[in-house]
Amino acid sequence: MSDFFINEFPPSSSAAWKQKIQFELDGADYNKTLLTKTNEGITISPFYHLDTFEKVIIPLPKEDCKICIKINISTEETANIEALAAIDKGISAILFEASKPFNATLLFHDLVHKNVEFHFKFNFLEESFINKLALILADETVYFNIDIIGKLARTGNWYTSIKKDNSILLNLIKKNPDLFILSVDATIYQNAGANAVQQVAYALAHANEYLTIFGADIAKRIQFNFATGSNYFFEIAKIRAFRYLYNLVLSEYNTTAIAKIYAEPSLRNKTLYGAAINTLRRTAESMSAILGGATTIATNFTSDKFTQNQQPILNETRTFKNAQHIATDTYYIEYVTKQFAEKALTIFKDIEKSGGFLSQLKEGTIQRKIKENAQKEQQQFDTNELVLIGANKYPAQFDSEEDIQVSTFLKGKSYKTLIIPLLPKRLSEKVEQKNRRDEA
């Protein structure tokens, strides 16, 4: 359709467009009316145009994104039944949460050789158990998600001690060099209130602690966990910018990797009431993760809610083939991605210059920076600049069903910690607590 328009309309430029906008604004200030400044230090323009196009080249995964369900292992038998049912419904990945070692033969009865990937989330670190599990699942794609630094950031303590944790990790990696033993859990940064640029920078610096210990060989064997918020295009750009920067950092190690990225919906913006709105939030978040190029997305539903809540997400996302390429060359996304990459790299370099992520975590610098942004967001929420519908705007206008996936109110820590832990915090907690008191 080459001459389709050229014959009838003159081509345009961003200057011409801006001029037209100024005419339409009729005296109103362009900068004040149409530019949006974000907590990341990015300015969103009302339009983007080919003549100001810029991008960084993102290394993208080849395979389509897998869709993951979480199963908590209370007994091996029930978890096994839940898993089989989920696979029947078309789930392509399962995350098992365990608080103690389990009987893997029982759990995985009839679950293997089904082309389903397995993820684990243990809140214990036991070398012999993990080695045994690795043996039983030798033919499967498995992500063990061991992240001792993440554990420290989340809880304020090592599993046992830095020395013991490090030595277990070292042994596990030595014994299973081809497996995904390690993960970098960046979900806590989002859930505690870091902005998108901080999350990218912290995930990188966090990963670089492992690269410093284990070297280039480990680069391809780390899974990254991100939590996705509802700022749609920023979330797409967040994952893309991370992919770009991870490879840039790896260039210093003379290696490359297409990062495995597991993304789950953020806790931060979920409201206690209005389960249907939370479903919309999660669906949009899952979509942005898929378009950002995540390799696995988790929808944070337990299997009993699967049919009613997860199905819409599956329906929306199943039609996407090669979804990781859709964002390519989109003016707006490429602009934000490039900005994120630039800004996150600066933060990453600063962290490295001051001794690295672990050292900044021990000093409390990371926690302080996250808290600053979290407080800014909270204030924006309190003044209705940042909206969660059903909470600070249109309260009580949506369904009042309580969302069982949202833990009511998080308590502070009640144990001694080595460092200040990063705690997840929902923006609407305060107002929900107040409403509860008013009802009582």
Partner 1 sequence: MKRKDFSNLEITVQDKKDTIFEHEQYVAGIAPNLRGIHATMYFQIPLETKISTNSFSKANVAPENEIATFLAESLNFIQKGINSNTKIDKIVSELSFETKIGKNHFDEIAKMRAVRMLWSKLIKQFNPKNQSSFALDINATIETSFDAFQAIFGGCQCVISGDKKHLFFQEETRILKTIDPWAGSTYVEKMTEEIATKAWLLFEK
Residues from 322 through 351 that contact partner 1 (CB under 8 A):
325-334, 338, 341-342, 345, 348-349
Query: Closest Cα partner for 143 from 158, 162, 160, 121?
Result: 121
Does 319 contact partner 1 by CB under 8 A? yes
- Kindly state the tokens that stand for 16: 């011409």
Q: Is 6 an interacting residue with respect to partner 1 (CB under 8 A)?
A: yes
The least distance separating partner 1 from the CB of residue 80, rounded to whole angstroms, comes to: 33
Q: What are phi and psi of 123, to 5 degrees?
A: -105, 40
Q: Which stretch binds partner 1 (CB under 8 A): 103-111, 124-132, 352-360, 375-383?
A: 352-360
409 binds partner 1 (CB under 8 A): no
Quick check: 244 binds partner 1 (CB under 8 A)? yes
Size of the site for partner 1 (CB under 8 A): 87
Q: How many CB atoms lie within 10 A of CB 117?
A: 19
DSSP string, 356-374: -HHHHHHHTHHHHHHHHHH
Q: Which of 99, 171, 397, 407 binds partner 1 (CB under 8 A)?
A: 397
Stretch that binds partner 1, among 41-49, 113-121, 195-203, 258-266 (CB under 8 A): 41-49
232 touches partner 1 by CB under 8 A: yes
Cα 418 from Cα 149, distance rounded (Å): 12
CB of 38 to partner 1, least distance (A): 8
Q: Is 37 in the site for partner 1 (CB under 8 A)?
A: no
With CB under 8 A as the contact rule, the residue among 169, 207, 249, 259 that binds partner 1 is: 249
The reply to whether 124 sits near partner 1 by the rule CB under 8 A is: no
Query: Of all helices (H) and strands (E), which one includes residue 127?
Result: helix 127-136
Residues in a beta bridge with 119: 95, 143
The residue length of the chain stands at 440
Which residue, among 201, 288, 182, has the nearest Cα to 244 in the 3D structure?
201
Measured over the CA atoms of residue 360, residue 361, residue 366 and residue 368, the dihedral's sign is negative
For residues 385 and 196, what is the distance between their CA atoms, to the nearest angstrom? 18
The region of 11-19, 94-102, 418-426, 432-440 touching partner 1 under the rule CB under 8 A is 11-19
Residues between 268 and 287 that touch partner 1 (CB under 8 A): 269, 276-277, 280-281, 283-284
Beta-ladder partners of 264: 227
Does residue 220 bind partner 1 (CB under 8 A)?
no
- Cα 45 to the chain's mean position, in Å? 25
Nearest to 250 by CA among 291, 223, 219, 294: 219
Nearest distance from residue 359's CB to partner 1, in Å? Answer: 10
Among 64, 126, 352, 363, which residue sits at the site for partner 1 (rule: CB under 8 A)?
A: 352
Q: Which of the stretches 99-107, 123-131, 294-302, 386-394 binds partner 1 when contact is defined by CB under 8 A?
A: 386-394
For partner 1, the closer CB: 7 or 128 = 7
The angle subtended at Cα 113 by Cα 112 and Cα 114, nearest 5°, is 90
Of residues 41, 46, 177, 364, which one binds partner 1 by CB under 8 A? 46
* Cβ proximity of 79 and 72 under 8 Å: yes
224 DSSP β-pair partners: 184, 261
**Position among 2, 31, 115, 128 found at the interface with partner 1 (CB under 8 A):** 2
The DSSP secondary-structure symbol of 220 reads G
Q: Per CB under 8 A, which of residues 143..202 are in contact with partner 1? A: none
Asked if residue 172 lies in contact with residue 130, where contact means CB atoms within 8 angstroms, the answer is yes
Rounded CA separation 235/254 (Å): 29
Give the start-end residues of each E strand in 269-349: 296-302
- Binding mask 12-31 toward partner 1 (x if CB under 8 A, else -) reads xxx-xx--xx--xx------
Considering the complex, what minimum distance in angstroms separates the CB of residue 198 from partner 1? 17
Nearer to partner 1, 347 or 420 (CB): 347
Q: Closer CB to partner 1, residue 34 or residue 85?
A: 34
Restricting to residues 420-439, which ones interact with partner 1 according to CB under 8 A? none
Residue 361 touching partner 1 (CB under 8 A): no
